[in-house]
Copies of this chain bind each other. A is one copy, B any other.
Amino acid sequence: MIRPASGGASEPSRLKMADIARMAGVSISTVSRALAGNSLIPKPLRDQIVEIAQTHGYVVNQSARSLRLRKTDTIGVIIPLAHEAGQLISDPFFLEMVGRLADEITLRDYSVLLNKVIATEPGWLERIIQSHRADGLLVIGQSTQHEALNTVADAYRPMVIWGAQIPGQRYCTVGSDNIEGGRLAVARLAARGRRRIAFLGAVDAPEAAQRFEGYRQGLDRAGIAFDPALVVPTPYTMDEAGQAVAAFLARGVAFDAAFAFSDVIAVAAFGALKAAGRSVPDDVAVVGFDDVPLARHGAPPLTTIRQDLRSGARAMVDLLFRRMAGEDAPSTLIPVELVPRDSA
C-alpha cells in the first residue's frame, strides 16, 4: 500500500477525476469526456462538469494522461555540451535560440523540456528518447555528434537538429547558410581593401567548418592567397576567445582584418585588439556572425552575418511537427545576410 510519503511538504487537494465524478454524480468516463470537450456528452452537462472541476481547481494529471495516451504534449529542447562538463548555458546565441524555440512550441500548446546534456557519454540521445518524456526532440547544434545523430535518426523520426547539412547525413537539419555567410564576410572585408584576413574560431564542428569553407572560398574569389598562419583557433566563450586572440596578437603576425565564427568571439577580439593598441576598424576590420543584441550595440557596432533565428526556430518546429505526424520533412537552409555596421 502506498503511504503519501508526506514529509511535511503540504499538498493542495490532490483531486482526481473520481472526485469530480462523485461531485457531479456521474461516472469517471463522463468526466473524462466532458473535460476533453467530447460532444457525446450534452453541452449542459459538459459545462456543469467543467464548472465543478474549475471551482475545485481540478486539472487532469499529466503523468497519468501521458502514460495512457503514450504522448506527453512536450517537446524536448536539447543543448549538447560537447566538451566541458561544467559549462554554463550562457552563450547568447544558445539562449536566444532557446527563447525562440520556446515561443514557437508554446504557440502550439506544447510544453518545453529543457535538456542540457554532456554529449560525450555514448547513448546520451537514446536515453533521452527512451525515457519517453517528450514527443519530439530539437537539438541545438550538432556539435561533434554527427555519428550519434545518424545512428539514432534511422529509428527515431521526430527529431530536428540545428546545424549544418553534411554529406551522408540521415537526420533532419535546419541551419543557416554558413558557407555563404563566410563568403559574404570575406567579400565585405576584401571590398574595404583588406588582404590579410584572419579567421577566428574553431573549425571542428560542422557549422564552424562550413564558415571556414566560406572564408576560403571568399579569399579565392577575392584573389587572396590562403595563409594558414591567419587561422586562429579559439574557444567559444568570450574570455577564452579573448585570450586566444591576445596570444595570436603576441605572435606578431601581420593582419588587417578578421572574420569571427561568432559575435561573441568578435567582441572578444575587440577587447584584445584594444588592449594591444589596435583600433577597429582602422587597424583591423572585424566581421562577426549571428547578429546577437551585443553586436548592434558594441563599440564600434559590429558588422556581422545575421542568422535569422526567428525563421530558423519556426522552421525547426514546423518540420518537427510534420515529422511527428509521420511526414518525412526535409532539411532546410536558412539564408543569411550581411549587416553592415561600423567594424568593417
Partner of A98, one of B57, B98, B132, B298: B98
| A95 contacts partner chain B, Cβ-Cβ < 8 Å | yes
Tally A residues with Cβ within 8 Å of B.
71
CB distance from A216 to the nearest CB of B (A): 29
Interface residues of A in 1-31 (CB under 8 A from B): 4-5, 7-10, 12-13, 15
Asked if B297 and A123 make an inter-chain contact with CB atoms under 8 angstroms apart, the answer reads no
Interface residues of A in 27-72 (CB under 8 A from B): 54, 57-64, 66-67, 70, 72
Oligomer: number of copies: 2
A158–B6 Cα distance when bound, in Å, is 13
A324–B300 Cα distance when bound, in Å, is 48
| A92 contacts partner chain B, Cβ-Cβ < 8 Å | yes
| A326 contacts partner chain B, Cβ-Cβ < 8 Å | yes
Given A67-B64, A126-B59, A131-B61 in contact, is the A270-B297 Cβ separation under 8 Å? yes
Asked if B131 and A103 make an inter-chain contact with CB atoms under 8 angstroms apart, the answer reads no
Query: In the complex, which residue of chain B has the Cβ closest to the Cβ of A89?
Result: B99
Asked if B99 and A106 make an inter-chain contact with CB atoms under 8 angstroms apart, the answer reads no
Which residues on the B side are within 8 Å of A12 (C-beta)?
Answer: 126, 129-130, 152, 155-156
Partner of A131, one of B60, B126, B131: B60
A133–B59 Cα distance when bound, in Å, is 11
Asked if A99 and B103 make an inter-chain contact with CB atoms under 8 angstroms apart, the answer reads no
A12–B88 Cα distance when bound, in Å, is 31
A102–B60 Cα distance when bound, in Å, is 26
| A229 contacts partner chain B, Cβ-Cβ < 8 Å | no
Which residues on the B side are within 8 Å of A64 (C-beta)?
Answer: 67
A297–B270 Cα distance when bound, in Å, is 9
Between A and B, 9 residue pairs with Cβ closer than 8 Å are A9-B325, A10-B157, A12-B130, A57-B126, A58-B130, A59-B130, A89-B99, A111-B114, A267-B297
Task: Enumerate chain A interface residues (CB-CB to B < 8 A).
Answer: 4-5, 7-10, 12-13, 15, 54, 57-64, 66-67, 70, 72, 74, 77, 88-90, 92, 94-96, 98-100, 102-103, 106, 111-116, 123, 126-127, 129-133, 152, 155-158, 238, 267, 270, 293-294, 297-301, 323-327
